[in-house]
Amino acid sequence: AQSVTQLDSHVSVSEGTPVLLRCNYSSSYSPSLFWYVQHPNKGLQLLLKYTSAATLVKGINGFEAEFKKSETSFHLTKPSAHMSDAAEYFCVVSDLDSSYKLIFGSGTRLLVRP
């Protein structure tokens, strides 16, 4: 079965410093992986997705993630945090054994300090 583990429940950074949100996955075959962001009391917005093309994936708002098969990781990074990046971030894997259901990680809350 597919699963994802987000290694940090909370990450706090200063505005203008790099962001690193960590995610490890478990999959019996080449997975499709996603990062979603959820701002307070809002819906789910897709940041980026990996579907077995380039291992370095660029997303919206300056975020990117690198698929590393040897480390079973898909960490999310951004060179410089903005205040507006404060939100909950979910690492997600698609279960290709079934009806493309998505399996969400437990989430990482990003706090950006001024």
* 7 lies in the binding site for other proteins (CB under 8 A): no
> Can you tell me which of 39, 42, 68, 82 binds other proteins, judged by CB under 8 A?
42
Closest CA to 27 of 106, 99, 95, 104: 95
Query: Which amino acid belongs to residue 15?
Result: E
Its sign, for the CA torsion 7, 37, 49, 32, is positive
> Can you tell me which of 44, 64, 66, 77 binds other proteins, judged by CB under 8 A?
44
> Can you tell me which of 46, 54, 83, 111 binds other proteins, judged by CB under 8 A?
46
Q: Taking a C-beta distance cutoff of 8 angstroms, is the pair 77, 65 a contact? A: yes
Q: Which residue ranges make up the site for other proteins (CB under 8 A)? A: 32, 34, 42-44, 46, 49, 51, 90, 94, 96, 98-107
